[in-house]
Structure formats: C-alpha cells, structure tokens
Structure 1
C-alpha cells in the first residue's frame, strides 16, 4: 500500500481522504460485490439485531417498572423505553453488534487478501484497492445502518411492551399510545444521525485495519481484534459527543 510510507499518525487521515475522493469519483467496484456486502450487513444481521434489541427493551422496561411502580406511575415505563430506545439504545446497541459482526468480517477479509498478496495484484493491474474494496463496504454499511436502526427501534419497543403488558398489566393499546405521545421526530432524527455516523465509523475502521494488517495468519487475527475494539470504543466515544451536542442544542 502506498500509504505505508506515511508516518503512522497520518495514515488514517490519508486513508479517510482517499475514501472521500473515491466516493465522489467514478465508482469502479463490482455491483455484485456491493449487493453481497449489503445483504450481509442487513438481512443476514436481522436475527442477532432482533434478539439483542428485544432483550434491551425488555431490560429497560423491567428496571423502570421496578422503580416507577413504587410511585404508581407504571404507565411512564412507555416513556422511558420509547425515548431511551429511540435516542440511544437502538443506535448504540446495533452499532456494537455490527462492529463485532460486520466490522470484524471486513477486517478479516481484507487482511486475508493482504496476506495472500491479492491487494498487491490489484495495484499491479492499476486498480485502487480503496476504490475497489473499501468504498463498497463503506457505502453498504452507511446505507444499511439506518434501516437496521429503524428495525431496532421497533424490536426494542416490542420488548418493552412485553414487559409492560406482562409485568404491569398495562393494556397494549394504552402502552402504544403513551409511547407515541412521548416520542417526537427529534428523538428519531438524533438516533438516525447516530446510525449513519456509526455505520461509517465501523466500516472505515474494519477496512483500515484489514488493509494495514501484517502479511501472516497472526496479522489477520490482530487486525480483526483491533477492528472490533476500535469500532466499539469509537461508537461509545462518538455517542458521548452526540450527547454533548444534543444537550448544547437543546434536543
């Protein structure tokens, strides 16, 4: 890779700049590759996203119910679950799952190609690896993460509804009505913005670690580990930045 000649602190900046230039240029990646990556980052991730977000919604409802029921305010569990899921948990939990699943897969796949000198072969043929390998992965995850976020919101609210109806005996219609009253577009817009940024971060991190992996079997494992750790830490750090910005803007 031509970026290897750069000092280590400058490599991520140069990599990110190259991805941006490729995005605004002529796309040379194969559409079949993009379709495969998009399917893997969306439909095939639905089962794990469903399980995790239903459980998170149920946990939020249970913890809230334990406290609110003491004050006879059990119906406000719907507010707690709805706002928490829409603003924070759906985007963050889904991003963490995708970092461990899709981000790791990106890093392992590209690191294996690096070890097998397939990326060197692309450069010899005059094909930019960033444009051919990285760009479709970044675009696929950025496009699919908002869809997964919307689905995660729905499943998280269902988890809260199950606990609210089962533990508190709340009528489902009253729970749903209270949830709709508590939510507004600012909550959903904030969560959607987070999902877009988290998707880009996870894809960029996984691809970067894969491209700069060492050319051996151990390097594949190290790149995968670094991609997962960096992706999850980055998601949490960005979520904190979003929280500060939302507080400053009064959202």
Structure 2
C-alpha cells in the first residue's frame, strides 16, 4: 500500500523517466520498434483529421454567428473575419483540438496500456528487458508531439471555412473579402502562439494517457477508471496550461 507522499511523487518520477527516455532516444539509443511509432502516428494524424475538422468547422461557424449578430448592429460585419481568425489562431483551434484528441487518443492510450497492465503484458516486457517507458510510452508521446501542430493547422483552416460560410450567409460577405480581411488580421505571432500551445497540449495528452494506463489497477474497473482519469486530467490540464499561456502572452505583450 503506497503512502500519499509516494503517490504524490509518482507523477514527478514518471515525467523524469519520460525525459530521460527521450534524451536517450535522441542520442541514438532507441528501444521502440519503428512500426509501433508508425501505427500511432497514423492513428493520431490521418484518422483524427475528420473529427477535428468537423468540430472546428462548427466552432468557427458559432464564433462567426455570435460576432455577426453583434457587429451587424454597428455596421461592422466585416470584422467578423478578425474575430474568427484571431480567436481560432490564438485560442480555440488549439484548445478544441486538444480536447477532441484527449477524448479520442488520450483515452485510447490509457485503455490500451491499462488492459496490457491487467493482462500482465507490461510485466512480460520488463522480463524481456524492454522497459515500458521506452517501448510503450515514448512512441505515443512522440507521435502526439509531431502531429498536434499539424492538426492545429487543419483545425484553423476548418474553422476559417466555417466562419466564411456563416459570414456569406448572414452578412453577404464574399469569400474573397473575408479571406483578405483574415489575412490582414492574422500574423505569425497569433499562429505561433497557437502552434506552441498545441505542441504542449500534445505532450500533456500523451503523458497523461500513458501515466493513467501504466498505473491502472489490474482489473476491469481499473481500465474504466484509468480511461476516465486520463480524459478528465487532460482537459483540466489543457485549461490550466492555456491560462498560463494567456498570462505569459499578456505580460510579454504578445
């Protein structure tokens, strides 16, 4: 039975092991199979694009609708493009994509590793001299680190398309005018901030999902608790990290 202090130290130890494993892999001491990384990359990229695009399209449409209702009263409907573009690039695209991926991929990581823990497959790997951190965790974290910025790009494009459709329908703004206004409003600072958030969110989701999976109880109920815990922890962490980014960006005048 672990003490509360030991349980509190466990996430810190897990983070340290992930960093040490990543440093070893960067130095050429890779312990995972390339085909495992390719499988996780496919699951976190191409297979995740449809749901990410659909959700962000709707978010962009909602932002445009709310903005159109208010801005049209002042004859400033064209500024809907500014609202949608900046909100998506700085905040919404990264956050919504991260929430979707935490429910889709982070939960899958937790359930898969928790099931392996229940079936004692993780112990079998350790007996064979294959540390779970190198063989199971690192490929999943690396895949999300690589794919989340790309998903962020797709999310921005889908959200802008949703805003353009609503603006054309409600405000009779042509697609050319909408895109021109968006190009004027956006800059690399907005996009860079959103991309940086997506990178951090990807690392968070990958590590949280793997953590809950590896330390799950070895029974059927433990798999369910690990999946739920991974999703809840990821979403709370996403909001907290976004708040930290907002404070830092405001302090730095970004």
TM-score by length of structure 1 reads 0.97
Give, in whole Å, the separation in 2 of the partners of 1:157 and 1:38. 26
In structure 1, the partner of 2:15 is 16
User: Are residues 1:217 and 2:216 paired?
Assistant: no
Unaligned runs of 5+ in 1: none
In structure 1, the partner of 2:166 is 163
Aligned with 1:237: secondary structure?
helix
In structure 2, the partner of 1:60 is 63
Confirm or deny: 8 A CA contact 1:4 1:11 kept in the other structure: no
Change beyond 3 A, Cα 1:32–1:45:
same
User: Are residues 1:150 and 2:153 paired?
Assistant: yes
Give, in whole Å, the separation in 1 of the partners of 2:166 and 2:4. 56
Q: Which consecutive segments of 4 or more residues in structure 1 shift more than 2 A?
A: 3-6
Give, in whole Å, the separation in 2 of the partners of 1:139 and 1:6. 30
User: Are residues 1:233 and 2:232 paired?
Assistant: no
Aligned with 1:52: secondary structure?
helix
In structure 2, the partner of 1:247 is 250
Cα distance, 1:4 vs structure 2: 10
Give, in whole Å, the separation in 2 of the partners of 1:191 and 1:148. 11
Give, in whole Å, the separation in 2 of the partners of 1:27 and 1:234. 29
Cα distance, 1:124 vs structure 2: 1.0
What does the per-residue CA deviation read over 1:113-158, in whole Å, with 9 as the maximum and x for residues that have no partner?
Answer: 0000000011111111001000000000010000000110000000
In structure 1, the partner of 2:52 is 49
User: Are residues 1:185 and 2:188 paired?
Assistant: yes
User: Are residues 1:133 and 2:136 paired?
Assistant: yes
Give, in whole Å, the separation in 2 of the partners of 1:89 and 1:36. 28
Aligned with 1:34: secondary structure?
helix
Give, in whole Å, the separation in 1 of the partners of 2:181 and 2:130. 55
Change beyond 3 A, Cα 1:196–1:40:
same
Unaligned runs of 5+ in 2: none
RMSD of the alignment, in Å?
A: 1.3
Change beyond 3 A, Cα 1:5–1:239:
closer
Confirm or deny: 8 A CA contact 1:142 1:196 kept in the other structure: yes
